[in-house]
Structure formats: structure tokens, C-alpha cells
DNA sequence: AATTTGACCAGTA
DNA sequence: CTACTGGCCAAAT
């Protein structure tokens, strides 16, 4: 029993985010803002980034399908998991053009 | 308890 | 295209 079920466990607040991310289809991407809205937390895109950073190992989540509203990967280019995220997206057939993804083509949901 | 941080975003210049 | 701003607000420090 890791944690007292109930309030002060922040992990619970992240679960709604994770549920939405899990629904992003293979070969498509979503944005922090869209995920926040679909999770019932409109305007709290930063919270999505936090939730993804806190993703437990073992929970296989398509975190790489979440990019920013500009179509770019929101990670430092020469640090972190930038390369891994890009590789995973390309492996799903998503094309990059100057480090950017066309959200009109790959964005989910459409609006 | 107070302050800073942040895998964001839309607007503006 | 880049750079900066104000808004956002829970989590982390």
C-alpha cells in the first residue's frame, strides 16, 4: 500500500491526463493544450507536461505523441529525450519538416 | 509558508 | 522567421 488513497497524492491528479494520452492513435499526435482540454483541464497545458514527466516506469504510455501547439518537440535538442521522441514519431510514419510536424495532417483530435 | 519552476499557449511586435 | 509578454496554476524547492 504505497499511498493513502485520497487527496494528497498528486499521482491521482495525473491519471486523467494519462488516460487521454493513452487514446492518441498510432501515427497521430496531440498537443499539451488539447490533452489538457480533453482531460477536463482547459488552459492547463503546463500541467500535462508535468504529468508526462511524472509518468511511472512500467506504465507504457505513448508520451512521444504529445508535442506543442507549434508542431515542435518540447524538449531541449541536445539534452533529454528529444532524439528518442523524434525517432519514435518517425517510426510511426509521421513526417517532419524542419523539425516540425504538420498538425493539420497528424493532429488528434482534429479540433 | 513563500518562491520558483515548467515536456505550454496565444498574442504581439 | 525570432523574441518577448502575460496568463496559467499545481508541483517542487
Residue A77 Cα distances to A13, A22, A65, A73, A99, angstroms: 29, 25, 17, 9, 10
Residue A5 — very low, low, confident or very high, per pLDDT cuts 50/70/90?
A: very low
pLDDT tens digits for range A30-44? 999 999 999 999 999
pLDDT value of position A29:
98
Residue A9 — very low, low, confident or very high, per pLDDT cuts 50/70/90?
A: low
CB A70 within 8 A of CB A81: no
Strand B proximal to A52 Cβ, under 7 A: yes
Residue A64 main-chain phi, psi, to 5 deg: -70, -15
pLDDT value of position A1:
41
Mean pLDDT score across all residues of chain A: 89
Strand B proximal to A30 Cβ, under 7 A: no
Amino acid at each position: 500500500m504505497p499511498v493513502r488513497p485520497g487527496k494528497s497524492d498528486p499521482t491521482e491528479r495525473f491519471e486523467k491526463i494519462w488516460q487521454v494520452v493513452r487514446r492518441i492513435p498510432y501515427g497521430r499526435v496531440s498537443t499539451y493544450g488539447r490533452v489538457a482540454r480533453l482531460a477536463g483541464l482547459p488552459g492547463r497545458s503546463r500541467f500535462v507536461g508535468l504529468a508526462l514527466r511524472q509518468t511511472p516506469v512500467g506504465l507504457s504510455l505513448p508520451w512521444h505523441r504529445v508535442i506543442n501547439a507549434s508542431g515542435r518537440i518540447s524538449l531541449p535538442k541536445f539534452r533529454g529525450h528529444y532524439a528518442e521522441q523524434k525517432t519514435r514519431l518517425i517510426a510511426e510514419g509521421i513526417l517532419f519538416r524542419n523539425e516540425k510536424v504538420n498538425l493539420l495532417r497528424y493532429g488528434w483530435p482534429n479540433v
